[in-house]
Structure 1
Amino acid sequence: MSTAKGGGAGNGPRRSRAGNGPRRSRAGDGHASAPRPASARPADGMSAPVTPGRVGLYVLLLVASVLVTIAGTLVQAAWFPGGLLLALAGIGGLFYGGATATGTLAGALVPGAGWLVTLVVLLGAIRPEGDFLFGAGVSSTLFLGGGGLLAVICATVALRRAPGVPHGRVGG
């Protein structure tokens, strides 16, 4: 009868690469390969719980997006190059700030949706008098395209900052 660890019928003792400690995963991250329980996962990112404070923040972002869109529409039409850049900086800051404040993808998408609905429904609709705030032109087209591009960029940045996942690794 063999008393050696892992010893059996002539197999000899088993040795791990890290010595006599627990077996490590091949990824080399220094953690044991035992799976984490579901409660140990971080509560940020896509799996963030919906709380009254978070819902209030989303409502605040929605109201702010309507106000910033109206102001941006007026400014971009008034001073062409500078007003357009100021309007795009305002909505880009709102999209990025929403994603950063909430730590979720919805933090960028909620103000983006509010911005788009405000432009299309409120400002793009023709009034009975025949005029409207969001006119056709180069500045308006750049404001629409640039704002959509900024919303996509900020949503992508919010997705890439998944908490608890080291850079260059696929989370599992």
Structure 2
Amino acid sequence: METKTSDFTSTILVNETPETVFNAINNVSGWWSEEIEGVTNKQNGEFLYHYKDVHICKLKVVALVANTKVVWLVLDNHFSFTKDKKEWKGTTINFEIKKVGKQTELRFTHVGLSPAYECYTICEEAWTKYIQESLYGLITTGEGMPNAKEGGFNQELVEKHLTPSN
């Protein structure tokens, strides 16, 4: 039984190897959004996630342990639908992979995604869909359900809403 914390967690169990799960996680445009720009599969890589003018997020890969763990730090964030436009900033998104018998468990935790956040209900629903359906599908069938490409990043939105790196 899982206890309720201030983090959001979603777990899936698949009949695939830890390597397959690890590779799928790092194929971010294959399960989260085709609108990913930057490096998602290397230590210290930085990338942007973008969904219309609704959500822009800058992330950094802060841990990458082959077939075991992936951790992203949210460097900057902008939601168009919340009072606090930067609600995710400073949170981490963790993927922990381990063998459980003949299966592989993926435990996804968005550390710091708290029910106190205005975006929590929407974010909880979205992460559940992305992990339980899209990433699960990418791992098990090779086909995820990422957000469709919108014709490229709107650089003006990115510059307007995200603080430039120093």
Please give the TM-score of this superposition, normalised by the length of structure 1: 0.28
| Bigger-Rg structure (1/2) | 1
- Give 1 or 2: higher strand fraction: 2
Please give the TM-score of this superposition, normalised by the length of structure 2: 0.29
- Give 1 or 2: higher helix fraction: 1
Which has the higher relative contact order, 1 or 2, with Cα contacts under 8 A spaced 6 or more apart? Answer: 2
